[in-house]
Amino acid sequence: MDLPATIPLVLGLVLFSFLVTSFLIVPFIDLLYRMNLVRKKEAPRKGKIPLFDRLHDLKAGTPTGGGILLLIVVTVLFAILFPIAKRSGIFVHSNFSLNNELFIIFFTLVSFGLLGLSDDLIKIFGKPRRGMVGLWTGMSRNFKFFLQLILALFVAFYLNRVMGISIIHVPVFDRVVDLGGIYIIFAAFIIVFFANAFNFTDGLDGLASGLLMIFLIAFAIITAQALDTPLSVFIALWLGSIIAFLYFNIWPARIFLGDTGALSFGAMIAVIGLLTGNIFGLFVIGGIFVVEAFSSALQILGWRLFNRPILPLAPIHHTFLAIGWEEPKIVMRAWLAGIIMAIFGLWLSSI
């Protein structure tokens, strides 16, 4: 299947996924209201209210769990449409064993999604407890990180030992570096990093989902050029679904992804980078996610070393919010930066 034949298939799947998600999302929002799966206030009832809670508790009452719908739509549509495409005579080209590639894509998507769903349910229905600043809801950080690490190590092991992936491409110098067995540790780090980076970014209406849309458009081009049909089909269905979701997620949001979507999608973009061998493109095209993660790490470092924050709030989009920028302005400027970084990443991938 050559590139000209891939483009109509990808575009058609984007449109179809968009229509299906658009049809389902309003009833799904109503369902979340009925199930009381909405964001709760996190501010302490007595004493000084932290700045973070003052800014974010305005969003309390908004349904969270949009990631559940997107995971279901993408998984079901792929399960139905991919076999139909194969039977229709469309030549399927995969850079790996087809079954192995499909397994690792959907294992990552579903396993990290279930982890995120567990955290969402604990946040909504669990009892808040006092944290370093204000109240803490959801799983403990250490336990959630441990589960992420276990899942990431399994995915990395499968990529390396079962699928035989051990290389990364270095653009500009046009070099391929074989990491051998070290690839497992390297890949696990990348997966955990982006799972959390995406989760950190998902703090303003439309911020993470809009940046994900830009990321998927860029990697749709990369995977189409690589003639990886399963990954192209998956990205196309995911892209159409996230565009429909974004309509209801932009300010003022009517629905949030929740950790179900944030952890799953963050891990999945890392796996896309690993499957394509395009780690540098992953970090450049997903550059805003990287900045958000490092700003959070910087804040933690400030508390650990100086017992005080370095930024007014973290991640960095909260800093802009704290100094008076309007939320839509922060999001739109992040999208613009994301577009430029995506163009830069595509340029790097082409040289």
Average pLDDT by stretches of 10, the chain with 351 residues = 70 96 97 91 61 67 94 96 80 84 96 95 76 61 94 98 91 84 96 97 95 97 87 96 98 94 97 94 96 94 86 90 93 98 92 74
What total of structural domains would you count in the chain?
1
Say how far apart CA 200 and CA 294 lie, in whole Å.
Answer: 10
Say how far apart CA 185 and CA 250 lie, in whole Å.
Answer: 36
Backbone angles phi, psi at 110, to 5 degrees: -80, -45
Cβ(285)–Cβ(219) under 8 Å?
yes
Domain membership flag for residue 65: yes
Say how far apart CA 296 and CA 6 lie, in whole Å.
Answer: 39
Indicate the pTM of the whole model.
0.93
Binding site, residues?
A: 199, 259
> What is the reported pLDDT for 228?
87
Strands 129-130, 175-178: pairing kind: unpaired
Domain membership flag for residue 302: no
Domain membership flag for residue 282: no
Domain membership flag for residue 130: yes
Question: Which helix (H) or strand (E) is 246 found in, with range?
Answer: helix 229-249
Domain that holds residue 207: 3-162+180-276
Domain membership flag for residue 150: yes
Domain membership flag for residue 333: no
Domain membership flag for residue 190: yes
Residues 6+ apart with CB under 8 A from 211: 201, 286, 288, 289, 334, 335, 338
CA torsion sign, 102 to 105 to 106 to 111?
Answer: positive
> What is the reported pLDDT for 136?
54
> What is the reported pLDDT for 55?
64
> What is the reported pLDDT for 20?
98
> What is the reported pLDDT for 46?
62
Binding site for Mg(2+), residues?
A: 199, 259
Domain membership flag for residue 350: no
